[in-house]
């Protein structure tokens, strides 16, 4: 029997952080002291992270987060894994823990107004009612590989495009809107934006798809759930599982999602093993012949490497700054 000795923690917390940039640097050092790997975003508005390590290290991390009064309402989604889900540890300061795409992000504050949180069992009971619309607020590559049955999906590459898509949802204003995402963090802002735009009955799946899988068996979630680590996707449905995605190249049913081996392309897409071998992990013959193509090991997951400096882009940016300053 394979005994899993590692864990992966998915979490977020909207809570104001003073000197957040310094906090990010200190928090990185703390995570490294616990030998954790993962990715954490720190902003003035809070924390958004996924970390992975031994059970002891993960327990110590959770205890430290809870001990900080600012984050004692944090909920951790815990997965047992047979190896760490990242290779390195990153903790970076950004303007938002989820990029909202708004010119003034402070117009919405999930601590003041957000959708009604539905526990998984309540979401399960409500989702098929006639006056309900289930809304996926995730990006294309996420809902392509897995989504709730009959969910409304949006054609967006990043969540920052969500505000522009709200007008497409006007037809549902008289219904109850049930939003969902991977772990709940995007729904905090998506539901707040919907309320701001006049939608009245707005709800969100508390804990997201991950918690729904653990507490409601993932019933009626079709396909797999995309996660932001080297597992890429995980199973969540133990009740009526299915696969809804197909290979981009041949159309065969597959749940495997990879990044194109050509780092210049790096497109995220579903590809079956046979096409992966034939195209050497690339999305096309053109990318397969690219001189910078990475070695394909069958996973389609690559450690991020620094890209060459784009001198032209830097020059244009400096030119704009000079014009603004004149």
Residues known to be catalytic: 181
| 284/288 Cα distance (integer angstroms) | 6
Contacts of 266 (CB under 8 A, 6+ apart): 259, 260
Q: E strands within 132-273?
A: 132-136, 146-148, 176-180, 202-205, 221-223, 225-226, 233-234, 257-259, 268-270
Tell me which residue of 98, 274, 304 sits closest to 193, measured CA to CA. Answer: 98
Pairing mode, strands 77-81 and 37-43: unpaired
Contacts of 55 (CB under 8 A, 6+ apart): 5, 6, 7
Place of tokens 């616990």: 34
| 249/253 Cα distance (integer angstroms) | 11
Query: CA torsion sign, 152 to 147 to 119 to 110?
Result: negative
């Amino acid at each position: 029997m394979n005994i899993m000795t590692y864990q992966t923690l998915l979490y977020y917390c909207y809570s104001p952080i003073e000197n957040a940039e310094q906090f990010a640097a200190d928090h990185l050092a703390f995570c490294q002291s616990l030998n954790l790997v993962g990715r954490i975003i720190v902003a003035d508005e809070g924390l958004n992270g996924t970390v992975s390590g031994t059970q002891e290290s993960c327990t110590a991390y959770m205890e430290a987060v809870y001990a900080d009064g600012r984050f004692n309402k944090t909920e951790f989604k815990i997965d047992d894994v047979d190896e760490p889900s990242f290779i390195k540890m990153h903790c970076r300061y950004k303007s938002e823990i989820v990029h909202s795409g708004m010119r003034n992000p402070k117009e919405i504050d999930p601590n003041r107004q957000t959708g009604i949180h539905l526990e998984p069992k309540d979401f399960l009971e409500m989702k098929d009612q006639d006056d309900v619309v289930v809304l996926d607020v995730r990006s294309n590559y996420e809902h392509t590989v897995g989504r709730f049955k009959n969910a409304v999906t949006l054609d967006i590459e990043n969540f920052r495009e969500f505000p522009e898509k709200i007008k497409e949802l006007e037809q549902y204003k008289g219904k109850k809107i049930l939003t969902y995402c991977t772990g709940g963090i995007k729904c905090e802002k998506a539901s707040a934006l919907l309320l701001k735009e006049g939608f009245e009955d707005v709800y969100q799946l508390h804990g997201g798809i991950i918690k729904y899988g653990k507490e409601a068996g993932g019933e009626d979630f079709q396909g797999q759930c995309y996660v932001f680590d080297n597992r890429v996707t995980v199973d969540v449905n133990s009740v009526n599982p299915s696969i809804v995605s197909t290979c981009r190249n041949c159309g065969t049913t597959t749940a495997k999602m990879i990044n194109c081996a050509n780092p210049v392309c790096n497109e995220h897409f579903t590809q079956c093993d046979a096409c992966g071998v034939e195209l050497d992990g690339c999305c096309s013959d053109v990318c397969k012949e690219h001189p910078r193509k990475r070695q394909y090991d069958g996973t389609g997951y690559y450690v991020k490497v620094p890209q060459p400096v784009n001198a032209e882009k830097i020059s244009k940016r400096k030119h704009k700054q000079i014009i603004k300053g004149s």
